[in-house]
Chains A and B, each alone.
Chain A
Amino acid sequence: MKRRDTHTGTGKAAYGSHKGETRDPTQTCPSKALRELRRTLRGGSIMDETVAEYIRRTVLKIPRDEIKMMLEKWGFLSEAQLQTLNCHQIKDSISQEVVQLCEVTITFKEYEDNAIWIRIAWGTPYKKPNQYKPSYVVYHSQTPYVFISASVLKSNMPLLCQALIVASNYHDIREMELRSHSLNSLKDIVFKRYSQNFQTYTTPLQGENVEPENADTRIVQENRSEKERIHRLNQGDFGSGPQPKLEFAQYRLETMFKSDPKMDVLDKKEPFRCLVKFSSPHLLESLKSLAPAVGLFQQAGSVELD
């Protein structure tokens, strides 16, 4: 099982090999797994004061006529519960009622694309769970991937991973080292949903604006050809859709150093160890604009040598 953080940080190129899973992921029963998870993390259904307060305050912030709609959207109350809620009371009472209806500390919500969102508030034996700094874990039950928000403290991470492994009945969890602020982008990359054509199919540059910077028609033609070529190459590597928004990628190289024989340099039999990090507000866009094409993401998972 791999997991990813959803904020900037390090990223490994390799999508990696799966560690031996002990059961077929397609047979997951989400709700059973979630119950396990909840039990493992010792989230109870005991409401405590800070949580109650948090919910109460949150509800109070909503204008009264929007409360019901908001609660529906949040979706942590069932239809029946929503029905029972009397929205004509004073807001104070409404919020009290909402609090009573809620279960806290760990909540689960299922979404359509088989994504289960888990909201976790962390506490210690001495401190109540902090509702204002929750972490989120997104798990797609049919996949061996989990996305974890960066708000999980380093100290809590091993515990969370352990819980996830136990609950999901996997055998190991490994960080994939790809981070972004855009969860959808990470999902696109992991689930390989972005369009990446491998054929070099030429699409003519119709309607592309090539400003004639120069009256000399030959130069304009050169520019146009060059732009077409770059466009073609980029199409080949990146596809024509919008790029997933990735901010950071990290690669660990342990390959042999090979040099031009006439340079008479290092010829060690051991790997040349390097760590390369790319970062940008929108990494794939910036790589795309590096002309000519970068064969970077074509080699998903492996680093090829000539």
Chain B
Amino acid sequence: MAEEAQEDGATRTLPSLRRLSRALPFGRTHGRLGISSSGRPIVSALCSQESADPQQTALLLRKAWTLYSVTPLYRFRRARLRDYARLLSAFIAAEKQKGLAVEVGVELDIKVALSSLADLRGSELDQAALLVQLSSRSRASSRNSEDKLVWSGWFCSVFGDDLSENLPEDFTSLPLFLSHGAESYTSLVGSWFQKTFDCCFRRLAISPQNLSWMVAMWAGCKLDRAAAAVELVFSVPRLSQPLDISYAIHPEDAKALWDTVQKTPGEITQEEVDVFMDCLYAHFHRHFKIHLSAAKLVKVSTAVASAHCDGIVKILQSQYLPGMLMLLTELAISQIQ
């Protein structure tokens, strides 16, 4: 990681989340794989944002979301959300009839709701997020029993204009998809969207390099009293017996370290992330003589959010939601392109 060539040492500043400059927020290579190693400013994405509707964001926080990239949707019409909900509902019922049942046992009617989350976007150039919710009401129970939310998924785009700006008219770009709930429902919903809008879902993995970015960014966030530790989890492959190493640092100490590494507030460069990680690795090596840089970083976790290399994230605080989504949107777009 530390050996990557710096293409361009200068950093670009993104003044505020609301005013988008035409420059790419993250220096991005043109290749399909990887994000550029040059300066990637992160900025006010991390600072407190006037949050969107708190009720909406409450739905999104403190849940483990599985990430996918989605290619643009063909002929998706915002006005037809009710129709789509009905069609998806029928599709799910039909699949259950066919015996591709989702839940064994209790007979469940699945109700589908589609809604737009207008505030969940980066700029006006982004599409508003689309939320899909599956609720169940047991047939056996009484009429006025409440629906129980069994699955939710949402499509979004936060500063995803890298993808959207070149699209032909009939396409809607919502490259990031997050799901929470049974895998069987995810594949049902995914199949329907794929058939209906001719798009393609792919699991979004998070590389160790990107995990390092995340942990460095989040370690520097303002802490409240009972903040959780900054934890990095490594797995050492190819051994006779698998080995997992968890390296947790007191959040104040991690923040103190990051504060001395980060040169300009509001900006983060790859170099700074590398220095931060190297410091942590060196400290570990002094004690255990193990090079963590040779192990695989599989999960990072802080008081702000946590992320796993298999593409599972959990966001714990609403003010960091936009910044996180921006980074994830970029990862999704890289995977699509």
Given contacts A265-B260, A266-B260, contact A294 B243 (CB under 8 A): no
A253-286 vs B: 1/0 string, CB under 8 Å? 1010111100111111010111111111111011
Pairwise interchain contact B243-A258, C-beta atoms closer than 8 A: no
Residue of A nearest to B250 (CB): A273
Pairwise interchain contact A283-B246, C-beta atoms closer than 8 A: no
Pairwise interchain contact B246-A294, C-beta atoms closer than 8 A: no
* Residues in B lying within 8 Å of A, measured CB to CB: 229, 236, 239-250, 253, 256-257, 260-261, 275, 278-279, 282-284, 286-290
Pairwise interchain contact A265-B257, C-beta atoms closer than 8 A: yes
A-B pairs with beta carbons under 8 Å apart, 9 shown: A266-B256, A276-B284, A277-B248, A279-B246, A280-B242, A280-B243, A283-B241, A289-B241, A303-B287
- Residues of A in contact, count (CB < 8 Å): 38
Pairwise interchain contact A268-B256, C-beta atoms closer than 8 A: yes
Task: List B contacts of A287 (CB < 8 A).
Answer: 243
Q: Which of A265, A276, A295 contacts B246 (CB 8 A)?
A: A276
Pairwise interchain contact A289-B244, C-beta atoms closer than 8 A: no
Pairwise interchain contact A260-B282, C-beta atoms closer than 8 A: yes
Given contacts A267-B260, A268-B253, A286-B239, 17 further A-B contacts (CB under 8 A): A251-B287, A258-B283, A265-B279, A266-B256, A266-B257, A272-B249, A273-B250, A274-B247, A275-B246, A276-B245, A276-B246, A277-B246, A278-B243, A279-B246, A293-B289, A294-B288, A306-B286
Q: Which of A265, A275, A278 contacts B248 (CB 8 A)?
A: A275
B178 to chain A, nearest CB (A): 29
* Residues in A lying within 8 Å of B, measured CB to CB: 251, 253, 255, 257-260, 263-268, 270, 272-283, 285-287, 289-290, 293-296, 303, 305-306
Task: List A contacts of B278 (CB < 8 A).
Answer: 263
Across chains A and B, which 10 residue pairs bring their CB atoms closest together, nearest first?
Answer: A273-B250, A286-B241, A286-B243, A277-B246, A282-B241, A275-B248, A280-B243, A266-B257, A266-B260, A289-B240
Complex-state Cα separation, A270 to B257, whole angstroms: 12
Complex-state Cα separation, A199 to B242, whole angstroms: 28
Pairwise interchain contact A281-B250, C-beta atoms closer than 8 A: no
Task: List A contacts of B246 (CB < 8 A).
Answer: 275-277, 279
Pairwise interchain contact A281-B248, C-beta atoms closer than 8 A: no
Task: List B contacts of A303 (CB < 8 A).
Answer: 287
Complex-state Cα separation, A281 to B256, whole angstroms: 35
Number of interchain pairs (Cβ within 8 Å): 101
Residue of A nearest to B238 (CB): A289
Residue of A nearest to B275 (CB): A263
Given contacts A275-B229, A280-B241, A286-B243, contact A253 B290 (CB under 8 A): no
Pairwise interchain contact A295-B275, C-beta atoms closer than 8 A: no
A14 to chain B, nearest CB (A): 13
Residue of B nearest to A280 (CB): B243
Complex-state Cα separation, A253 to B249, whole angstroms: 9
Complex-state Cα separation, A305 to B288, whole angstroms: 10
Complex-state Cα separation, A199 to B257, whole angstroms: 39
Given contacts A274-B250, A276-B284, contact A257 B243 (CB under 8 A): no
Residue of B nearest to A247 (CB): B241
Pairwise interchain contact A266-B287, C-beta atoms closer than 8 A: no
Complex-state Cα separation, A296 to B286, whole angstroms: 11
Pairwise interchain contact A263-B279, C-beta atoms closer than 8 A: yes
Task: List B contacts of A255 (CB < 8 A).
Answer: 287
Complex-state Cα separation, A114 to B260, whole angstroms: 56
Residue of A nearest to B278 (CB): A263
Pairwise interchain contact B279-A259, C-beta atoms closer than 8 A: yes
Complex-state Cα separation, A282 to B282, whole angstroms: 26
Complex-state Cα separation, A289 to B283, whole angstroms: 22
Complex-state Cα separation, A287 to B289, whole angstroms: 11
Task: List B contacts of A295 (CB < 8 A).
Answer: 288-289
Pairwise interchain contact B261-A285, C-beta atoms closer than 8 A: no
